[in-house]
Structure 1
Amino acid sequence: MSVTSVNPAANATNEYYLTRQSQMESNVRSYPRKLPLAIAKAQGCWVTDVEGTEYLDCLAGAGTLALGHNHPAVIQSIQDTLASGLPLHTLDLTTPLKDAFTEALLAHLPGGKEEYCLQFCGPSGADATEAAIKLAKTFTGRSSVISFSGGYHGMTHGSLAMTGNLSAKNAVNGLMPGVQFMPYPHEYRCPLGLGGEAGVDALTYFFENFIEDVESGVTKPAAVILEAIQGEGGVVTAPAKWLQKIREVTEKHNIVLILDEVQAGFARSGKMFAFEHAGIEPDVVVMSKAVGGGLPLAVLGIKRKFDAWQPAGHTGTFRGNQLAMGTGLMVLKTIKEQNLAQNAQERGDFLQAEFKKLAQEFPCIGNVRGRGLMIGVEIVDERKPADHMGSLPADAQLAAAIQTACFNNKLLLEKGGRNGTVIRLLCPLIINQDECVEVIARFKMAVAEALKAVRG
Structure 2
Amino acid sequence: MMTDKVRIDSLSANSLPQSNESFLNRQAEFESNVRSYPRKLPLAIAKAQGVWITDVENKEYLDCLAGAGTLALGHNHPEVIQSIQSVITSGLPLHTLDLTTPLKDEFSAYLLSLLPGQGKEYCLQFTGPSGADAVEAALKLAKKVTGRSGVISFSGGYHGMTHGALSVTGNLSPKEAVNGMMPEVQFMPYPHQYRCPLGIGGEAGVKALTYYFENLINDVESGVRKPTAVILEAVQGEGGVNPAPAEWLQRIRKVTQEHGILLILDEVQAGFARTGKFFAFEHAGIEPDIIVMSKAVGGGLPLAVLGIKKQFDAWAPGHHTGTFRGNQLAMATGLTTLKILKEERIADKVAEQGEWLKGKLAEMQKRFPVIGHVRGLGLMIGIEIVKPHEAQDHMGCYPADGELSALLQKKCFEAGLILERGGRGGSVLRLLPSLLISNAELDVFLDKFESALLNAGVKPV
Verify the 8 A CA contact 1:158 1:175 in the aligned structure 2.
Answer: yes
Contact 1:8–1:40 (Cα < 8 Å) also in 2: no
Return the alpha-carbon distance in structure 1 between the equivalents of residues 416 and 331 of structure 2: 33
For residues 2-41 of structure 1, the aligned pairs below 5 Å read 2=5, 4-5=9-10, 7=12, 12-41=18-47
Q: 1:406 aligns with which of 403, 412, 420?
A: 412
2:438 pairs with 1:432? yes
Opposite residue 407 of structure 2, the aligned amino acid is A
2:110 corresponds, among 100, 104, 125, to 104
Aligned to 1:156: 162
Contact 2:368 2:458 in 1 (8 A): no
Q: Which of the residues 207, 224, 233 maps onto 2:230?
A: 224
CA contact (8 A) 1:236 1:370 kept: yes
1:304 counterpart = 2:310: yes
Which residue of 116, 121, 125 maps to 1:115?
121
> TM-score w.r.t. structure 2 length?
0.97
Residues 70, 269 of structure 2: 8 Å contact kept: yes
Does 1:419 pair with 2:431? no
Tell me the SS of whatever aligns to 2:323. Answer: coil
Q: Partner amino acid for 1:167?
A: S
Q: 1:144 aligns with which of 145, 150, 154?
A: 150
1:413 deviates by: 0.6
Moved more, 350-359 or 287-296: 350-359
The one of 361, 386, 394 aligned to 2:367: 361
State the Cα distance separating 1:6 from its structure 2 match: 5.9
Deviates more, 1:442-451 or 1:398-407: 442-451
Q: Distance in 2 between matches of 1:62 and 1:224?
A: 24
Equivalent residues of 1:8, 1:50 under 8 A apart: no
The one-letter amino acid paired with 2:301 is L
Pairs within 5 Å for 1:327-406 = 327-406=333-412
Residue type of the alignment partner of 2:56:
V
For residue 169 of structure 2, give the secondary structure of its aligned residue in structure 1: coil
What pairs up with 1:179-194 in 2 under 5 angstroms?
179-194=185-200
Runs of 4+ aligned structure 1 residues displaced above 2 Å come to 1-11
Give the one of 50, 61, 71 matched to 2:67: 61
Is 1:286 matched up with 2:259?
no
Q: Is the 8 A contact 1:43 1:68 kept in 2?
A: yes
Question: Which residue identity lines up with residue 418 of structure 2 in the other structure?
Answer: L
Cα offsets for 1:358-406 (capped at 9, x unmatched): 1111000000000000000000000001111111100111000000000
Give the alignment partner of residue 48 of structure 1, picking from 50, 54, 59: 54
| Residue 452 of structure 1, CA deviation | 5.0
In the alignment, structure 1 residue 92 sits paired with structure 2 residue 98: yes
SS of equivalent to 2:61: strand
Instruction: Report whether the alignment pairs 1:166 with 2:166.
Output: no
Q: SS of 2:125's equivalent? A: strand
Counterparts in 2 of 1:238-253, with a 5 A limit? 238-253=244-259
The answer as to whether partners of 1:398 and 1:451 remain within 8 angstroms in 2 is no
Give SS of 1:233's match. coil
Q: Which amino acid in the other structure matches residue 102 of structure 2?
A: P
SS in 2 for 1:32: helix
* Residue number in structure 1 paired with 2:217: 211
Q: Does 1:318 align with 2:324?
A: yes
Question: Quick one: which amino acid aligns to residue 94 of structure 1?
Answer: T
CA deviation map 1:30-53 (0-9, x unaligned): 000000000000000000000000
Structure 2 alignment gaps of length 5 or more:
none
Corresponding residue pairs, total: 454
2:452: which partner in 1? Answer: 446
Q: Distance in 2 between the 1:212 and 1:360 partners? A: 45
Give the superposed CA RMSD.
1.3
Q: Mark the runs of 5 or more structure 1 residues left unpaired by the alignment.
A: none
**Whole-angstrom CA distance in 2 between matches of 1:118 and 1:318:** 15
What TM-score do you get using the length of structure 1 for normalisation? 0.98
State the alpha-carbon separation in 2 of the partners of residues 84 and 443 from structure 1: 45
Structure 2 residue matching 1:451: 3-state secondary structure: coil
Q: Deviations 1:41-89 (Å, cap 9, x if unpaired)?
A: 0000000000000000000000000000000010000000111100001
